[in-house]
Amino acid sequence: MPRPRPLIPLLLLTLLLLAALACNTLQPPKPSLEWDTSPSAVIIEISEGGGMVPQEYMLNALHPLRVWGDGRILWVENDSKGGRRVLEGHLTQPEMTDLLTKISDAGFFGWATSYQPKFQVYDAGTTTLSVNLTSHSQSVSEYAGEGAPQKYHELLAYLSGGAGASGADFAPTTGYLTAFAGQPASGQAPYHWPNVSLGYDLDKAASGMYIEGEALQFAWRAVNESYVAIVESGGMDYHIALQIPGVSQQEPPTK
């Protein structure tokens, strides 16, 4: 008469199989961390948008972070007074690999594409983190700053701080300026357009125009000190918007 098989080994085997199945199911996918190394390829990007904000605010908005295939990195540091500092640095290929590994290990490629609060929130902003690899691209968005995993917030904080890179002040070489006329000059505008040295008033930029040199330096300083900078020119107060090709969230028209 055959002896009955012990139950404990069978139970252990069943538990091991279930554990392996759970591990395979819950473990987030980890694609190959290979990327396009060309300087024009955007590999990692944070975008922000939405909510009720003035038009010039949207046009002045930059990506909080962008990392290109050759390791170039650009990020924005905001201050408590509504100003910002734009920094540019470089990541080596091993540093790029380490950064992508950090993102992957956090579980990024296994997260949902969008998150939001449990309760309805109106007119709030959305933050999106995007990663573009050779074999896979993924974007994860969060509305109103709630709903995403805690590690998503940790990643955003790390990336928004420059991801450990050393940076210097970024100075664009060209920009697209748009001037929005407000009202007759109040005498209170903190900025005064250099009409004399440039030879034209801001009304020339009412329909938008590309600028360089002194005009660009002036406008870049003004919009970095305040997203809604008021500039006096030709007896009028203007709000200005400056879009930088390849850097602004809204790309300017092509030349």
**pLDDT per residue as tens digits for the range 124-174:** 899 999 999 999 999 999 999 999 999 999 999 999 999 999 999 999 999
CB 128 within 8 A of CB 141: yes
**pLDDT per residue as tens digits for the range 27-81:** 778 899 999 999 999 999 999 988 777 788 899 999 999 999 999 999 999 998 8
3-class DSSP state for residue 160? helix
CB 220 within 8 A of CB 172: yes
Sheet holding 114-115, edge to edge: 114-115, 137-143, 125-132, 42-50, 65-68, 72-78, 84-90, 167-169
Q: Which pLDDT belongs to residue 182?
A: 82
Q: Which pLDDT belongs to residue 27?
A: 75
CB 182 within 8 A of CB 236: yes
Instruction: Provide φ and ψ at 220, rounded to 5°.
Output: -65, -45
Helices (H), 171-250: 195-198, 213-225
CB atoms within 10 A of CB 22: 10
Instruction: Name the pLDDT band for 22 (thresholds 50, 70, 90).
Output: very low
Length, in residues, of the chain: 255
Q: Which of 46, 37, 67, 246 is nearest to 134 (CA)?
A: 37
| Buried residues in 160-172 as b, exposed as e (16+ CB within 10 A) | bebbebebeebeb
Q: Which pLDDT belongs to residue 24?
A: 39
Residue 73 Cα distances to 40, 88, 106, 251, angstroms: 12, 6, 21, 18
**Cα pseudo-dihedral 56, 59, 60, 66, rounded to 10:** 160
Q: Which pLDDT belongs to residue 135?
A: 94
> Measured between alpha carbons, how far is 159 from 44 in angstroms, rounded to an integer?
9
* Residue 76 β-bridge partners: 86
